Amino acid sequence: MSPFSSFRQVSGTNSAKPTAKEEFVSWRKLFSLAKPESNLLSLALLAQMVSVGTTMIFPMAVGKIVDIIQLPNSVDQLKWMASALAGLFVVGAVAVTVRVALMTTIGERIARDLRKQVFQSLMKQELAFFDGRQSGELVNRLSNDTSVVSKTLTENLARGIRSSVTTTGGIGFLIYLSPTLTVAALSFIPFLTIVGGIYGSYVRSLSRKLQDALASATQVASERISAIRTVRLFAGESIEVGRYTQRIEDAFQLAKKVAIAEGFYMGGGFFMGQASLLAVLWFGGHQVLQGALTVGQLASFAMYAVNVGFGVSSLANGYGQLTRAQGAGARIFAILDRKPCPLTGIEGLELGSSYSVSSHTPTLENDRPSLIFDQVHFYYPSRPQHSVFKGLSFQVEPGELLAITGISGCGKSTILSLLSRLYIPQQGHIYLNGYDINSLDISWLRRQIGAVPQDVVLFDGSIVENIAYGAGEEVSMDEIVRAATIAGADYFIRQLPYGYETQVGERGLSLSGGQRQRIALARAIVRKPKILILDEATSALDVESEASISEAVDLLRRKENMCTIVIAHRLSTLRDSNHVIVLNKGVVAESGKFEELIAKPKSFLSKLMLISEGHGLEAADDEKLEEPSRAK
């Protein structure tokens, strides 16, 4: 049994989708995210306490002033009180400035660090992780969830502390001023607590749905905008506007429910607050008339009661924000805590460093790599019921040019994914120069491979940046030009207005399909790979350009002793190979020299050529060739 077999079924150790239990992260875990900022946060909270202290003293001071102005010859006392209050306001203003500046900066720092960590964690995950997820949803975690969490750890925390202090301190002052009046003033609190609890759980479940609805709308928008050419070509604008409108409307309906609930809650709270203030003035007025309370004390009492009312409602509101942040935190931790599959993901990925070299980085004997696929069985983890390979075996000799062909969907491109360890086979082995590729350091392995995938994607940037992407930062301009020349790209690049500095646009869409393919080929060549895999890499080129590029690549293959695998349907591409294998029903159905296979009218290759000329499976007259839709 292979030492790696225990990893075979693994596609990551846990899912990024939180289970019902993990929908909310604990407060402790959530607040652990603020730990790196604890010093600055303490300073900001100190400033917060100072500003809260000044607001707490204010009603008492107002009450004193009201009483002083009723006394004869109290001008000096009034002056003193006014100066003291002015001093208090200055201290309060400085404290507010420090708190706001610090809290906002800390919030941005937490969001920045979280986004960096979440993105880093996403980059480490194996490909299978992304198969079942939508990019819009993951982007939402990076942007929305991180900002909800950072706001809660800073602004909402500060607001929560202020509300707690104003509420508890305010109640203290109320009891100090008049215990009996305090009962009237706080009679609304039990009601608000019960209604607040019901409101909180209602809003919490709505908010979760709202987040999901917004994520789904973002997904539609980002996918359709990035595929705007296709939308235009099929005149799909109004359908897409309708689709987006529907999703955003769904989100709006949920937001409306939240708004109505919030309106009722705030309105009810406001009414209760006003009613209790009226009760304070009613009973307090009677106490003033009876001489049990001064007018100033009643004024102070009323102001504290208002403060307590605002404090309680702000606490209830803050609780809602906290539960929202617990949900966002759970989604963030589902990514941060996720350990990538040990064989296909990247375990250690620090900023600016290479992957951890934890396993084998052999020297390829005589620089002549050979490749063996040995009884490989494979299905994609997201589609376990459909086996792509059922015992695939073939071999590529050092320096050989192997062509792989087969009907669409038979698994040709999957070979590149398995060889690069983007996925691992459930059974069987792949050997590079006799080493099981699972025993090799993953970044080393991928550095040996230069690949031009079927669907070429370039990144927004210059041509030179895109070609250099294949080899890292150390590549020289001469090497880039050499690779571009072999790939047949140098000529057209020089014709462009800014030559190698020309910007290719998002996903390289400002270039033609053939130009993109040639740049992708240069990107693969510039890394001086030991194994070159071309997956329909010249399909967008005319036969003449294809022939001249094939010739240049062939020269390079001989010179560098590169193993080359060409995945193709076209006769012209297959003809130049040393060896052709035809895939069918998850195995190698046929293998041999091109001329020998094509000479037999009943061979799989001959039938495939008939199909590729547009005659269809019926013309090939062979029920053995499996249509992908029939694949089980």
Ligand X SMILES: Nc1ncnc2c1ncn2[C@@H]1O[C@H](COP(=O)(O)OP(=O)(O)OP(=O)(O)O)[C@@H](O)[C@H]1O
Binding residues vs ligand X (CB under 6 A): 131, 380, 382-383, 388, 406, 408-414, 454, 628, 631
- DSSP per-residue codes, 159-210: HHHHHHHHHHHHHHHHHHH-HHHHHHHTTTHHHHHHHHHHHHHHHHHHHHHH
508/513 Cα distance (integer angstroms): 9
Nearer to ligand X, 52 or 437 (CB): 437
Nearer to ligand X, 151 or 421 (CB): 421
Tell me the closest approach of the beta carbon of residue 545 to ligand X, in angstroms: 21
Nearer to ligand X, 6 or 382 (CB): 382
Tell me if 371 sits within 8 A of 432, measured CB to CB. Answer: yes
Tell me the closest approach of the beta carbon of residue 120 to ligand X, in angstroms: 23
Among 371, 440, 437, smallest CA distance to 581 is for 371
Count of CB atoms situated within 10 Å of the CB of 179: 9
Tell me the closest approach of the beta carbon of residue 631 to ligand X, in angstroms: 6
Tell me the closest approach of the beta carbon of residue 217 to ligand X, in angstroms: 25
Nearer to ligand X, 286 or 386 (CB): 386
Q: Is the dihedral of CA 149, 150, 154, 156 positive or negative?
A: negative
Nearer to ligand X, 138 or 410 (CB): 410
Tell me the closest approach of the beta carbon of residue 466 to ligand X, in angstroms: 23
Tell me the closest approach of the beta carbon of residue 344 to ligand X, in angstroms: 12
What are the tokens at 553?
């690549």
DSSP code of residue 455:
S
Nearer to ligand X, 171 or 531 (CB): 531
Centroid of chain to Cα 215: 12
Nearer to ligand X, 359 or 382 (CB): 382
Residue 117 vs residues 158, 180, 630: alpha-carbon distances, Å: 25, 55, 43
What are the tokens at 625?
């060739």
226/223 Cα distance (integer angstroms): 5
Nearer to ligand X, 132 or 505 (CB): 132
Tell me the closest approach of the beta carbon of residue 406 to ligand X, in angstroms: 6
Residue 510 vs residues 237, 458, 460, 515, 546: alpha-carbon distances, Å: 21, 10, 10, 10, 21
450/470 Cα distance (integer angstroms): 8
Query: Phi/psi zone of residue 386: left (φ > 0), alpha (ψ -120 to 50 degrees), beta?
Result: beta
Tell me the closest approach of the beta carbon of residue 231 to ligand X, in angstroms: 23
